[in-house]
Amino acid sequence: MNSDPYYQRGIPPRNLISLPADCSAPNDGICCSVSKLPYLQCVISETLRLYPAGPLLVPHYSSNDCTISRYDVPHGTILLVNAWATHRDPKLWKDADSFIPERFENINSENNEGYKLMPFGLGRRACPGKSLAQRMMGLTLGSLIQCFDWKRIDDNEIDMVEGKGLTMPKAVPLEAMCKPRPIMEFLL
């Protein structure tokens, strides 16, 4: 029998982020444990891949004439990168439309695997708040998992269809029921 307390609650570690047992101690908040949760970071990366905050990256002007993938780009051209399309390109991602956090477990910067994911842009013009945003997502998601038991409202498939708008919000809001865990009073 598996001794993992989350597994015993019916939460298989691969279906939901399994927090280490030491995260349950009243004196140990999620803040000091996020670095010990690599699967949590995989879930965040996969979520940002499928549902970036903005489908298009910040536009840039070309400062010189250049060629990008056989296209001649004259000086002063406005360049847009469609992160949403890149993140769902089956030439770049196996099962591109499926939520598979494990694809980020062994990202290797030497073979440019990390450069396919760009929800914050890349290089020197990437979002300056990238590190803060990723840290806050880890802390928020980790705290929500640590402090609450979550249940779906019904047995219907979760509708992940995107709506219209600049940030492509979900067309149908997600509804879930949360029950506070006893540890919450010690952490918040």
- The label of the residue with tokens 């990168």 reads 81
Q: What's the rounded Cα separation, in Å, for the pair 185 and 146? A: 12
Q: DSSP letter string over 21-37?
A: GGGGSTT--GGGTGGG-
DSSP lists the bridge partners of residue 78 as 61
Alpha-carbon span 93 to 148, nearest angstrom: 33
127 is in an annotated binding site: yes
Binding residue ranges:
127
Binding residue ranges for heme:
127
